[in-house]
Every structure is written in structure tokens, then in C-alpha cells.
Amino acid sequence: MLKIVLLGGGNVAHHLFAQFSKNSEIELVQWYNRSISAIQKFESTTLLTNQLADLKPADIYIIAVSDSVIREVSSSLPFKDRLVVHTSGNSDIQVIDSKNRAGVLYPLQSFRKEKKIHWNDVPLLLEAENEKDLQLIQRLAKSMTDKVYRINSKQRSRIHLTAVFVNNFVNHLYSIGAELSEQAQIPFEIFIPLIKQTTRSLENSPAKTTQTGPAVRGDNSTIESHLDQLKDPLYKDIYKSITRSIIKTHGGEKL
Amino acid sequence: MLKIVLLGGGNVAHHLFAQFSKNSEIELVQWYNRSISAIQKFESTTLLTNQLADLKPADIYIIAVSDSVIREVSSSLPFKDRLVVHTSGNSDIQVIDSKNRAGVLYPLQSFRKEKKIHWNDVPLLLEAENEKDLQLIQRLAKSMTDKVYRINSKQRSRIHLTAVFVNNFVNHLYSIGAELSEQAQIPFEIFIPLIKQTTRSLENSPAKTTQTGPAVRGDNSTIESHLDQLKDPLYKDIYKSITRSIIKTHGGEKL
């Protein structure tokens, strides 16, 4: 069994706690949070503390706190030469104070407190400073999910950029779509099957090979009519910038 | 039973044929295509013809052909005062020659020949010139799917614009994401669970309420670092235009 100490009381920490509690490969030795009240209701199942000085020995210390306080928490740890990992997608492995061995266990998923996490669907992206620690983190990760990847800090920042495109920006396009359809009294639900089909097809075919629409067809009259219909200049800009990029990416293929 | 004559030999026609063949509410009287060879292999199950003059009587004639030839096919029909519907998202109901009663049965889905269609997931958008014909088309549609909507020609053109945002543009963002991650030797599959989660959440919460990312947080240093990482000026433009729109939409909420 892997002995784990968990630090932090936010969404990620709560979801990790729920996972560790039912994971037979893991012994959750202790849960630390600066404020005990945030985790108080779990005192019957786990040893809780709000004192870093009281931390027990463990194989891995997991710091699941906001990006801005990882450094502070890690440098306040009252021991050295132990394996300390953070769970952030945006922070370099180096933010872990060098008195301990540093690692990263980054779950690529967005966590909300009320939403159940299916850990086996969550990719865990790992980093460590040496091979032995990587194997330890890997053992932990594989007890949680089949989707385990070794990713360095530079790749992790690229992952963040990519996620902005495929998640944050996509979500904003859905939001624009909902607004456009509402204006014409069209229920947005009619688009859900189409959206799901596109998502499903990602698992079999690269998106580039399945591109459809007026831009890839070079259908300028439809593009003009769409730009006419769009009243918001910001939506026009989005329409134009993506259309230009589709035309450049696929230019000549179907024109 | 509804007597149907199907006209056309493309993807939509083939998928409609497959549906009608197993639909107990429908009697597929005849299948017309200009070229018999494209549909020849179904001659044992259905009466085929390549002669418009041979068309049999039916309750509904469904013209599932390219947008550009709907008008021509409908005006070549050798009868009048019958119900003739097209299946196009981009064509007005008026393209059906006025010697017959016009209607539209538009399946909001993208069809590829090799891909199985789950009709019960496909929204069917209906239009007719009079209430009685609408009810006839509705009877047909409801025998195919639970998702049946009455949509006029003006709404249908708005649907097309919306689908460009939520389907074509989203797909291009996936394509950019795949390129960005490949450049850093990151397997794109790690993003699939996140993408699916966003799609699933659309069914419960409007996209506007679940927006995350640096733009909605007003996190300018991350935005600057992302723009630095993007080398392609077209991708920079997309990043800027969507970021501006997110900031405008959510401005002040979380800043």
C-alpha cells in the first residue's frame, strides 16, 4: 500500500480524498488543511490536521492547493528529502521547494465540487525529477486510472494552451450558438446530437479530416449571408478569423 | 401506412431508404434516381425507376437531392397538387415548384455514406405551406424520431449559421488543438475526456454559465504567454477575437 498525505481543502483535494478513500492500493494517512472546518465532516474516516508540524511520514505528499500558494506550502513543510507532488496544470515542477523531491500529478479535468468524477476517464499527467520517484507516482496514478501519461513542464504549459482552444473557446462558441438560436426562437437542444456526433468522431478521425461547412467548400455567398446576419462586431470578427484559418488550412483541397 | 416515393441517390437518400425499409408505418412505394446503377443493388426490395414519368401515386414525395437541383427535379414532376418535400437545410420551401404542395423535412445531422445513423437521435425540422400537410409530414417524422420541430425557412437559415459556430468552427478549433499538441509530442487523446465533459454539460447548463479559462478570469499574464506561444498569425487572430468576446460577454463578472 502507498502511504499518502493529502494537503488542501478545495475541489481537487475533495475529489482526491473521495478517490483515495475507496482505493485499496492507497492508505490515506492524513489530511491537512489550514482550516479544519472545511474538512471537518470527514474526521471519522481520516486523521485530520491543520498543523504542518504534525504531518506523519508517508510515501507521497500531495499538495492540492491553489497555484499561488503551492510554493508557500511546500517551503513550510517541516521535513526534507521526501516526495512532494503538486496537482497543477499551470505550475512548473520547480515551485516545489527543493529541500524535498518534487513531482507533479496533474488530472486533466475540470473539477466542480458537486460533480461526481469518474476517475477512470481522467488522464493523469505525471512528472518527477528522477526515475524512481516517477515510478512511485506512476503506481499511485495507475491505481486511479488507465490514462496515465508522462509529461514534462514545458509540455504541460502547451497542454494548457491547447485546452483553451478545445475547451474554453469551444464552450464560448456554444454560448454564441445558444444566443443566435434563441434570437430566432429555436431551441438550442436541436444542436446537441450534431455536437455529440462531432465529438464522437474525434475518437476515430482527426478533426482536420472531417471539416465541413461553407469555408472549406469555398462557398462565399453563404459566408457573406452569415456575416450579414451577425450583428455583433465581435461575433463577426470570430466568424472571419476562423473562416480565414479554415480556408488557409484546407485551401485548394475542395475549392 | 404512409405511402412514400423517394427521389435521389446520395447519402441522405440512402440513409432515408434504410430507415423507411424497416419503418412499419411507411410503405416505400418507389425509389427514383436519375442513374439506376447507384441504387441498383436494392432492386429486390423496392421498385426502382429512373423515369419521372413512371412515378406512382403516393402521400409524400421526398426529394433528397443536392440543393442546386431541387428546383429542377420538382419542376420536372409529371403531376400537380401532391405533397412534395425537400430535405435541405439551406433551401427555402419555395424552391419546390408551386404546381405541387410544398414541404420540408430537414434532418439536422451530417450524413456520411459509411456511417450508421441513429434516427431517434436526429432532430427533424419540418415546414409546410398548410396545416394539413404539416400534419402529414409530422406523422412521417414522428415515425422516425422523437425529436420533431416545426421550423420556418427563416429559422432554418439561422440554424445553418448556428451550426457553423457549434459544429464547423468547433471542429476547426479541435483541429488547431491537435496541431498544437502534436508539435509538443502530446497525444491529442488526453483532451477527449475534457471535451466530452464540456459537451455533456451542455445538456444540463447553458454554456454561458460554465465558461472557464484565462479570459473569463481576466488572467492577462496567461493570455500574453499563450499569444507568445502561438506562432501562426491566423491562430493568434482566433485567440484574440474569441478572448475579446469572452471578456465582453462575462466582463465584470469575475474580474
User: Chain A partners of B198 at a C-beta cutoff of 8 Å?
Assistant: 167, 170-171, 174
Compare CB distances from A177 to B108, B165, B234 and report the shortest one's residue: B165
Q: How many CB atoms lie within 10 A of CB B135?
A: 12
A121/B208 Cβ within 8 A: no
How large is the average pLDDT for residues A249-254? Answer: 70
What confidence tens digit (pLDDT) does each residue in A132-184 have? 999 999 999 999 999 999 999 889 889 999 999 999 999 999 999 999 999 99
- Considering only CB atoms, which chain B residues are within 8 Å of A246? 168, 172
Q: Which CATH number fits domain B156-250: 3.40.470.10, 1.10.1040.20, 3.90.550.10, 3.40.50.2300?
A: 1.10.1040.20
Whole-angstrom distance, CA of residue A141 vs CA of residue A61: 14
A48 at interface of B, judged by CB pairs closer than 8 A: no
pTM of the predicted structure, to 2 decimals:
0.85
Interface contact B163, partner A, CB < 8 A:
yes
Q: To the nearest whole percent, how much of chain A has pLDDT over 90?
A: 88
Q: What is the pLDDT of residue A146?
A: 96
User: Hey, is the C-beta of B3 within 8 angstroms of any chain A C-beta?
Assistant: no
Q: Are B234 and A169 in contact (CB under 8 A)?
A: no
DSSP state, residue A208 = G
Instruction: Using CA coordinates, name the residue in chain A closest to B122.
Output: A193
Q: What mean pLDDT is predicted for residues A198-220?
A: 92
- Give the integer Cα–Cα distance in Å for B165 and A242: 10
With CA atoms as reference, the chain A residue closest to B248 would be A234
Q: Return mean pLDDT, chain A.
A: 94
Quick check: helix, strand or coil at residue B5?
strand
Q: How far is B126 from chain A (nearest CA, A)?
A: 13
pLDDT of residue B252: 54
Return the pLDDT at A252.
53
Dist. CA B206–CA A137, nearest whole Å: 37
Q: Which CATH class is domain A2-151?
A: alpha beta
- In terms of CA atoms, which chain B residue is nearest residue A207? B175
The C-alpha atoms of residue B92 and residue B174 are separated, in whole angstroms, by 32
| Neighboring chain B residues of A164 at a CB cutoff of 8 Å | 213-214, 226, 239
Nearest by CB: A237 against B109, B189, B241 = B241
**For B219-238, what is each residue's pLDDT tens digit?**
898 899 999 999 999 999 99
- Is the pLDDT at A254 greater than 60, yes or no? no
Portion 64-103 of B in contact with A at CB < 8 A = 90
Backbone angles phi, psi at A177, to 5 degrees: -60, -40
Helix A170-183 with A233-250: angle, nearest 10 deg = 120
User: From the list B110, B194, B241, which residue is nearest A212 (CB)?
Assistant: B110
In chain A, which segments carry CATH 3.40.50.720?
Answer: 2-151
In A181-210, the residues whose Cβ lies within 8 Å of chain B are 181, 183-199, 202-203, 206-208, 210
Digit-by-digit pLDDT tens for chain B (255 residues) are 999 999 999 999 999 999 999 999 999 999 999 999 999 999 999 999 999 999 999 999 999 999 999 999 999 999 999 999 999 988 899 999 999 999 999 999 888 777 889 999 999 999 999 999 999 999 999 999 999 999 998 898 899 999 999 999 999 999 999 999 999 999 999 999 999 999 999 999 999 999 988 999 888 988 999 999 999 999 999 999 999 999 999 985 543
Residue B154: predicted pLDDT: 86
* Domain(s) of CATH 1.10.1040.20: residues in chain A: 156-250
